[in-house]
Amino acid sequence: MTEGRASPVDFLSRAYKAYYFRHVESVEVPEEIGRREFGYLSFEDAMVRHLTFPNEGEFKAMMVRESPRSAYCSVACYDSPDLPMEEKGLRKADLAFDIDSDDLELPCTAEHDFSLCSNCGKPFKVGGEKCPLCGSSSVSSIHWVCEKCLSGAREEAIKLVDFLQLDFGISSGEIRVYFSGNRGYHLSVVGSEYETLGQRGRSEMVEYISGKGFTARQMSLVPKRTAAELYPRMPTPEEPGWRGRVAATLAKMEGGASREELARAYVEQPERIEGLVQKAVGLSAAKVDAGVTIDTHRVFRMGETLHDKSGLLKKRYARLDGADPLADAVAFGSEPVRVSVSYSPRFWLLGSSFGPYDKARVELPTYAAVYLAAKGLAVPA
């Protein structure tokens, strides 16, 4: 890529086109391609849907030709994927899960998330509806990402895989785990016995994974019982399912307390232990976007495609141990590009640190320039 003056959209469009021209063969193509609906977001912000392709070659030709901001594929297989939604004829659908660090209420968000005034370029803390400098209401919220964000999302993904394998009997070969390309992780379950599960069943699956309705009573903790009556019925950490999960978490929270000790504590302080059980449920649950999983007509970002808000790849992982998305998912090279940055907190890519910047003109490697431009924070200088 050569340095030169261009609008942010032109800069990103050229970068994405160069990437797909060289790497389109890396884009993941789903099973039963002819029964899937495809869609993409163009650099003119047009969402194009209801596309179909008879084979991988025609799909990848489209990817090179259009080089979109985002590329999507339906989780469902249809009789006629090119028809309007009510006429497609749903046959089955992969299970899809989305874990976004922005939904995890992590403390680090207060350190790095911010709002940016489109009028004067003033950054300020998220929450204000108007710019404190110029009073403009034309502001946008920027949800940043850091190692702590991704670590938190990764832990949720690990818990989710555990649920899918141990509680739902899904094999590891049917589970595909991805860095989403921006702030979290995607999981797809392909070819399992759950592919014909309807929206209600998928909703119940999410409720189970989230621990909805689990109380101290499910731990066999009920009022007006002695400790001797309670503890034989209480679960051990080795017990399968939610009871065992909460028992293991509760024991850790109470410093390795045994069933007998927890039973005595409940008899003496039932409200405290009931509160701890609810906290243990929250720690044991996997936090997913319910709307994504329930929607059998969802189009999901495709593996090994570029994310429109980061320029990073949706990257597949065989194992989450040691996953480093801010290095593994970098798609562009290090050729220097001069950009004007309105504002940016410090960030890391490929092990290198950049920023912070405030109305600065700097020379960055292409991958860092694309990252800031995709977030609307930099323009070619």
Q: Are 301 and 72 in contact (CB under 8 A)?
A: yes
Active site residue 308: no
Look up residue 55 and give its two tokens. 């084979």
Active site residue 100: yes
Long-range contacts of 230-236 (CB under 8 A, 24+ apart): 230/263, 230/266, 230/267, 231/259, 231/260, 231/262, 231/263, 234/259, 234/262, 234/263, 235/259
Separation between Cα atoms, residue 129 and residue 141, nearest integer Å: 10
DSSP string, 213-279: T--GGGGT--SS--HHHHGGGSPPTTSSHHHHHHHHHHHHHTTS--HHHHHHHHHH-HHHHHHHHHH
Active site residue 103: no
Tell me, what DSSP letter sits at residue 173? G
Residue among 94, 100, 113, 308 flagged as catalytic: 100
Residue among 94, 98, 113, 308 flagged as catalytic: 98
Residue among 82, 162, 289, 295 flagged as catalytic: 289
What's the chain's length in residues? 381
Point out the residues that are catalytic: 98, 100, 289
